[in-house]
């Protein structure tokens, strides 16, 4: 890369970017941090030594950013998210600091394998899918755009589960991502906070005669922050990801131990630490629901107390809190923060209700990520009252005041009052968390143009009609630093050699490669990059699954969370269709394809797990059938995560984005694929619509019903069996699956899936099947023309500029947060000593 690196510090072994200093620092950490010398060091030792070497360079920028923020007290963004799917840190730091090439050279001179060392890093399993990866992309862009920000979340000890595939079934195993420690984090025990849970409330009158409420908890836990640096690309700004770990107030009861109750002596420690053990505990049980609500409250309370501490230490007044913090709620998981900030302001800082509410609503904004009503969080009232009794009282008060406004705004419309209420009164009563987020936020946004419009017409229609000025659209984006520069170095080198590197922080500039589309040597180089990436992925597939695939076949890829609405089983119906055509002699000139799947099903979601079993079972039959040779291969790569994504997106020829129109909020996988030159087959759903507009309809394979047509089908009384009876190929596919052909004669194995399709089909696979198959035939025809396909691939990358998370962050900053960039100058140690007041850091 030709762009200049961040401001260069003095030449010392902790901060210098010179190759010799990097080598000395590497050996220094190997010796003094790890306590080893090279001959007895393993690969992980080398990784940890290198991680500390690079973290030192980030720390200089991190502390300089801290000093800048403390001195100027700018308005800061606080991004509250239950997930942060960061991916490995080392590679990202090397790219953003401009050190990748230099470190590679230094390690080669030390006879160490750069790529092998990077592969040693355990990926932090702190997210499940798009929600957590979006949060990670946003943190990268916030720092790159030089906007002061925190990411706040939970330091899950085990994170999302490790997915193994055993006999074709998903098996969840513990993800021990912290088993070797985490060299990127720093514990900040001095900023720990106490969190109350359970108990009851007491009313009293204070000395000034004011009515007050005191929360008397059943138990108290401690939240301890762990900080990781988030560097911007080629700037000095380095922001903070602050994750909270739960600990007991007293880890060991000596008196209980002395009585011989050795387990009882540590029971409080075990119970408290369970709070942050696992991401998304199975909430099918009451205990699981309780733990999930406790997790959500725990991290937002920790975070809000932390923000207030920072604000007060910087000399602010509690009454100006909203002027210095813009808090973004990433979906409904952190929505309890609205009631918690009210509690802190009213009960702890003794502000009048009206003033506290004004501060709260001017502080929060809310991003909605779903159109599925069942995915909008709600909590049974008895459970909520048992865990958060004071917050339920506050929510009742918010609701009473809000519904008074509703009555005035919609005079005489009692049904609207019931729909808008924060409490769902139908059947078992619930607290509606999305409603709380809407009422307590000054801005509400969707994450794609279609999604935002459907929110206004659907799940949030009543809120839109009451407060249309609150609603915005900000289409999601992904960071090109990780998803192109780091993931696809071959393509990065080709693009940069052709047009320079300004596109890395201004992605719309990548459109300049379109000017080279008629250059045959450029197209040849483009194909060579894709072929090399496919060869790398083919080698990985063989290592992970034992299946040998042909890099010259079309790589048709569907990797994302396994869910019925994402319709992985529609892709399976296509595979079975092709297989049957081959076996019946009707497709001898079939374009060779490798179908690549990946993704995790929620542990309690049986239908999604059965979909994985169907994929693997179909693959087992096809991959071992000598009649199809290399024409068809089906692979399911287990444990899909960021690290795997970095290998898969650059190698894909075809990106499958086939959710039912009107169900996907946005999607970001579609953006990563297009950036890396994959063509998309997809419905008019989520950000697919904007992607198709950008790349051109002629470079996008569109199929399926629109959202309006889907609704019309549903209103007309959709009968999936009609499609089964009227389409012979569809009937043949379903009968083949139902017969037990792909399940070793067990006709009952896939019956729940088949019956659901034939008699319910809530996501209309059968209605979209024929359109999908015809569109896939067009894909195969297009792929035969290698040169034309290359041109379409180039155009997908060239026209992906809109989908950078840098653009998303600029829109949030301007429309919603009202924050400005704060450039950071590097400090030397003497300046830092004078600028950091005690306990004010970050």
Helices in 649-746 by DSSP H: which ranges? 669-675, 688-695, 707-715, 720-726, 728-738
Contacts of 334 (CB under 8 A, 6+ apart): 80, 81, 82, 296, 299, 300
> Which pLDDT score is estimated for 552?
97
Please state, in angstroms and rounded to a whole number, the distance separating the CA atoms of residues 268 and 218.
12
Residues in the chain: 842
Q: Which of 5-9, 54-58, 89-93, 214-218 has the lowest mean pLDDT?
A: 5-9
Answer yes or no: are the C-beta atoms of 394 and 439 closer than 8 Å.
no
> Which pLDDT score is estimated for 13?
80
Confidence tier at 4 by pLDDT (50, 70, 90): very low
pLDDT tens digits along 190-203: 999 999 999 999 99
Which of the pair, 484 or 587, is modelled with greater confidence? 484
Model confidence at 280: pLDDT above 70: yes
pLDDT tens digits along 564-575: 999 999 999 999
Phi-psi region of 427 (alpha: psi -120 to 50; beta: other; left: phi over 0): left
Please state, in angstroms and rounded to a whole number, the distance separating the CA atoms of residues 630 and 151.
47
Averaged pLDDT, 647-655: 98
Which of the pair, 684 or 209, is modelled with greater confidence? 684
DSSP letter at 122?
P
Q: Which of 237-246, 368-377, 559-568, 633-642 has the lowest mean pLDDT?
A: 368-377
Closest CA to 67 of 213, 205, 292, 236: 236
Token pair 């919609």 in the structure block, residue = 410
Contacts of 146 (CB under 8 A, 6+ apart): 232, 235, 237, 821, 822, 823, 824
pTM: 0.95
Please state, in angstroms and rounded to a whole number, the distance separating the CA atoms of residues 351 and 317.
12
Q: Positive or negative CA dihedral for 240, 506, 490, 19? A: negative
Give the residue numbers marked as catalytic: 369, 560-561, 566, 668, 672
Over the chain, what is the mean pLDDT? 93
Helices in 553-677 by DSSP H: which ranges? 568-583, 606-623, 642-648, 669-675
84 phi and psi, to 5 degrees? -140, 95
Answer yes or no: are the C-beta atoms of 575 and 759 closer than 8 Å.
no
By CB atoms closer than 10 A (0-12, 13-18, 19+), residue 812 is buried
Model confidence at 510: pLDDT above 70: yes
Answer yes or no: are the C-beta atoms of 119 and 146 closer than 8 Å.
no
Confidence tier at 354 by pLDDT (50, 70, 90): very high
Helix (H) or strand (E) segment spanning residue 379:
strand 378-380
> Which pLDDT score is estimated for 273?
83
Model confidence at 797: pLDDT above 60: yes
Answer yes or no: are the C-beta atoms of 556 and 517 closer than 8 Å.
no
Model confidence at 716: pLDDT above 80: yes
Confidence tier at 374 by pLDDT (50, 70, 90): confident
Answer yes or no: are the C-beta atoms of 471 and 445 closer than 8 Å.
yes
Please state, in angstroms and rounded to a whole number, the distance separating the CA atoms of residues 474 and 369.
11
Beta bridge partners of 169: 166
Please state, in angstroms and rounded to a whole number, the distance separating the CA atoms of residues 217 and 195.
9
Closest CA to 141 of 133, 129, 153: 133
Please state, in angstroms and rounded to a whole number, the distance separating the CA atoms of residues 423 and 441.
17
Model confidence at 839: pLDDT above 50: no
> Which pLDDT score is estimated for 11?
62
> Which pLDDT score is estimated for 371?
85
Beta bridge partners of 245: 224
Averaged pLDDT, 102-107: 96
Instruction: Find the angle CA(135)-CA(472)-CA(336) to the nearest 5 degrees.
Output: 55
497 phi and psi, to 5 degrees? -65, -30
DSSP letter at 498?
H
Averaged pLDDT, 20-46: 94
**Residue 219: helix, strand or coil by DSSP?**
strand
Q: What is the CA radius of gyration of the chain?
A: 27
Closest CA to 433 of 167, 108, 88, 82: 82
In this structure, what token pair is assigned to residue 129?
């899918």
**Residue 588: helix, strand or coil by DSSP?**
coil
Confidence tier at 250 by pLDDT (50, 70, 90): confident
CA-to-CA dists, residue 199 to 215, 384, 388, angstroms: 8, 12, 8
Helix (H) or strand (E) segment spanning residue 108:
helix 100-109
Confidence tier at 561 by pLDDT (50, 70, 90): very high
Please state, in angstroms and rounded to a whole number, the distance separating the CA atoms of residues 681 and 744.
32
Buried b vs exposed e over 529-559: b needs ≥16 C-beta within 10 Å?
bbeebbeebbeebeebbebebbbebbbbbbb
Phi-psi region of 111 (alpha: psi -120 to 50; beta: other; left: phi over 0): left
Work out the percent of the chain whose per-residue pLDDT is above 90.
86
> Which pLDDT score is estimated for 287?
86
161 phi and psi, to 5 degrees? -65, 155
Model confidence at 2: pLDDT above 50: no
Closest CA to 657 of 622, 632, 692: 692
Q: Positive or negative CA dihedral for 297, 301, 307, 310? A: negative
> Which pLDDT score is estimated for 773?
98
Confidence tier at 840 by pLDDT (50, 70, 90): very low
654-657 vs 679-682, strand pairing mode:
parallel
Please state, in angstroms and rounded to a whole number, the distance separating the CA atoms of residues 270 and 247.
9
Provide the CB-side half-sphere exposure for 660 (13 A, CA): 22
């Amino acid at each position: 890369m030709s762009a200049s690196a961040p401001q260069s510090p003095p030449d010392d072994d902790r901060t210098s970017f010179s190759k010799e200093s990097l080598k000395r620092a590497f050996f220094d950490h190997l010796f003094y941090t790890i306590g080893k010398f090279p001959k007895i060091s393993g690969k992980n030792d080398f990784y940890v030594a290198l991680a500390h070497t690079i973290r030192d360079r980030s720390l200089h920028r991190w502390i300089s950013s801290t000093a800048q923020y403390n001195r100027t007290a700018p308005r800061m963004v606080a991004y509250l998210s239950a997930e942060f799917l960061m991916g490995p840190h080392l590679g990202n730091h090397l790219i953003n600091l401009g050190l990748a090439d230099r470190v590679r050279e230094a390690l080669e001179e030390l006879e160490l394998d750069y790529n092998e060392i990077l592969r040693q890093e355990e990926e932090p399993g702190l997210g499940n899918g798009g929600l957590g990866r979006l949060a990670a992309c946003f943190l990268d862009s916030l720092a790159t755009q030089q906007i002061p920000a925190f990411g706040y979340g939970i330091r899950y000890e085990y994170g999302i589960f490790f997915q193994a595939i055993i006999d074709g079934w998903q098996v969840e195993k513990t993800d021990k991502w912290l088993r070797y420690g985490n060299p990127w984090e720093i514990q900040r025990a001095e900023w720990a906070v106490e969190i109350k849970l359970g108990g009851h409330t007491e009313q009293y009158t204070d000395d000034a005669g004011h009515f007050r409420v005191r929360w008397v908890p059943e138990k108290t836990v401690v939240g301890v922050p762990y900080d990781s640096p988030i560097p911007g690309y080629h700037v000095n700004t380095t922001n903070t990801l602050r994750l909270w770990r739960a600990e007991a107030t007293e880890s060991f009861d000596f008196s209980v131990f002395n009585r011989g109750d050795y387990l009882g002596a540590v029971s409080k420690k075990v119970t408290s630490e369970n709070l942050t053990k696992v991401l998304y505990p199975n909430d099918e049980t009451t205990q699981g629901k309780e733990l999930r609500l406790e997790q959500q409250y725990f991290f937002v309370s920790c975070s809000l107390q932390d923000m207030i501490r920072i604000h007060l230490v910087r000399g602010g007044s509690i009454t100006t809190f909203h002027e210095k913090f813009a808090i973004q709620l990433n979906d409904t998981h952190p929505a309890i923060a609205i009631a918690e900030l009210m509690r802190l302001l009213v009960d702890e800082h003794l502000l009048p209700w009206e003033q506290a509410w004004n501060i709260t609503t001017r502080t929060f904004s809310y991003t909605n990520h779903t159109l599925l009503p069942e995915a909008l969080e709600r909590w049974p009232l008895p459970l909520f009252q048992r865990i958060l009794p004071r917050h339920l009282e506050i929510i009742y008060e918010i609701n009473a005041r809000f519904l008074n406004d509703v009555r005035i705004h919609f005079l005489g419309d009692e049904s609207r009052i019931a729909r808008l209420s924060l409490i769902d009164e139908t059947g078992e009563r619930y607290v509606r968390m999305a409603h709380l987020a809407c009422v307590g936020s000054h801005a509400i946004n969707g994450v794609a143009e279609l999604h935002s419009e459907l929110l206004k017409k659907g799940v949030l229609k009543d809120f839109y009609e009451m407060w249309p000025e609150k609603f915005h659209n900000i289409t999601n984006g992904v960071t090109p630093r990780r998803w192109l520069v780091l993931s696809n170095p071959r393509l990065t080198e080709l693009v940069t050699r052709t047009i320079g590197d300004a596109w890395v922080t201004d992605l719309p500039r990548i459109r300049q490669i379109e000017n080279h589309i008629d250059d045959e040597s450029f197209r040849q180089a483009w194909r060579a990059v894709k072929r090399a990436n496919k060869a790398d992925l083919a080698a990985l597939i063989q290592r992970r699954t034992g299946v040998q695939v042909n890099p010259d076949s079309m790589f048709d890829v569907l990797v994302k969370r396994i869910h019925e609405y994402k319709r992985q089983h529609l892709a399976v119906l296509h595979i079975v269709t092709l297989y049957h055509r081959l076996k019946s002699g009707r497709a001898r000139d079939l374009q060779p394809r490798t179908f690549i799947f990946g993704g995790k099903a929620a542990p309690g979601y049986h239908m999604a797990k059965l979909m994985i079993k169907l994929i693997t079972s179909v693959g087992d039959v096809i991959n071992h059938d000598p009649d199809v040779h290399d024409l068809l291969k089906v692979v399911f790569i287990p444990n899909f995560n960021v690290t795997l994504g970095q290998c898969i997106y650059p190698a894909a020829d075809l990106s499958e984005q086939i959710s039912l129109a009107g169900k996907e909020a946005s999607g970001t996988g579609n953006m990563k694929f297009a950036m890396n030159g994959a063509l998309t087959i997809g419905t008019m759903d989520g950000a697919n619509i904007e992607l198709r507009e950008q790349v051109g309809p002629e470079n996008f394979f569109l199929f399926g019903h629109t959202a309006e047509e889907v609704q019309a089908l549903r209103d007309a009384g959709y009968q999936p069996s009609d499609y089964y009876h009227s389409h012979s190929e569809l009937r043949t596919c379903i009968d083949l699956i139902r017969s037990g052909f792909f399940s070793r004669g067990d006709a009952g194995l896939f019956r729940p899936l088949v019956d659901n399709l034939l008699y319910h089909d809530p996501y209309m696979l059968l209605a979209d099947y024929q359109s999908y198959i015809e569109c896939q035939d067009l894909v195969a025809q297009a792929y035969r023309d290698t040169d034309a396909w290359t041109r379409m691939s180039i155009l997908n990358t060239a026209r992906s500029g809109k989908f950078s998370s840098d653009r998303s962050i600029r829109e949030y900053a301007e429309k919603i947060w009202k924050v400005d960039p704060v450039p950071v100058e590097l400090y030397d140690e003497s300046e830092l000593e004078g600028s950091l007041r005690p306990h004010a850091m970050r």
